[in-house]
Amino acid sequence: MKLLLIVLPVLLLSCNKQKSIEKPPLKFSEIPYSVETNYLDSIAKKIMPNKPFEYWHYATYYDGHASEDKLYTVLAEGGDLKLKKNININVDPLKLSGLFEGGHPSFRSNYLVVIENSKIKYVDSMEQLRDFIGKIDNIEEAILFARTYGYHLASKPKGRSYHFSGDVYKLHLIKYSEDYPALFRLRGELIELSITRDGFMKSKSLETYCEGLECLK
């Protein structure tokens, strides 16, 4: 009897302790950008390089295949703005690779140009773009960082939401597969990404977001 009286309070304390350490679910907020517009251009306006450059700019290029439809628009820039005149904005996409190229039948791309040690350099790979971003300074850079690994914003809120605390951005984004299903070669997986300010990223699959034609909506 005495042993029972001793064990019972210990079990109750153990249960109460377990309940007390259970954490409430994280509250995610909707990412304030839409796939109905080119959000890559919008988030690029908040980009902050990891170090100072003599000059840099991030631009969007659009080619509608008519001479009057070729547009080169600087979205963000920094450094000595007088050096901007040294950058040739009459780009030829066939000779100069950009970032996030795409579009049909029109063509669009982004160009990131830096001037360092008096030399002009075009950033033309996802790895170089991540190096340029460096420390993740805001949600826009977190989205752009994730995009360099192929993670996309979705049309539904559950596929474009985030939570930030403790220097970690948690994003709910979509990863598309190009080899399923056989007919449309498209499948979307809802992924939770954890991105630290220093650019370390972990991913966790949550559920299937879409399949086939649903992924085109």
Looking at residue 13, its pLDDT comes to 52
In a domain, 189, yes or no: yes
Chain mean pLDDT for the chain? 88
Q: What is the pLDDT of residues 134-143, one digit of tens each?
A: 999 999 999 9
Looking at residue 204, its pLDDT comes to 96
Looking at 102, 133, 164, the residue that finishes a domain is 133
Say what the pTM is. 0.85
Q: Is the pLDDT of residue 208 over 90?
A: yes
Separation between Cα atoms, residue 17 and residue 20, nearest integer Å = 5
Residue found under tokens 């796939």: 35
Are 90 and 142 within one domain? no
Are 157 and 212 within one domain? yes
Looking at residue 3, its pLDDT comes to 44
CB-based contacts of 69: which residues, under 8 Å, 6+ apart?
Answer: 62, 63, 106
Percent of the chain predicted with pLDDT > 90: 68
Per-residue burial over 69-99, b if 16 or more Cβ lie within 10 Å, else e, is ebebeebbbbbeeebbeebebebeeeeeebb
Res. 15 pLDDT band, cuts 50 70 90 = low
User: CA 49 → CA 12, 31, 45, distances in Å?
Assistant: 54, 22, 12
Number of separate domains in the chain: 2
Looking at residue 116, its pLDDT comes to 97
Q: Which two tokens stand for residue 174?
A: 């979509």
In angstroms and rounded to an integer, the radius of gyration of the C-alpha atoms of the chain is 23
Q: Quick one: average pLDDT of 185-198?
A: 94
Q: Is the pLDDT of residue 1 over 50?
A: no
Note every long-range contact of 190-193, with CB atoms under 8 Å and residues 24 or more positions apart, other chains counting.
190/154, 190/158, 190/159, 191/151, 193/146, 193/151, 193/169
Question: What is the identity of the amino acid at 44?
Answer: A
In a domain, 38, yes or no: no
Q: What is the pLDDT of residues 79-111, one digit of tens each?
A: 999 999 999 999 988 899 999 998 777 889 999
Are 206 and 157 within one domain? yes
Q: Which residue would you say has higher pLDDT here, 130 or 25?
A: 130
Are 104 and 154 within one domain? no
Residue 76's domain comprises 51-133
Are 55 and 119 within one domain? yes
Q: What is the pLDDT of residues 41-88, one digit of tens each?
A: 999 999 999 999 999 999 999 988 665 678 999 999 999 999 999 999
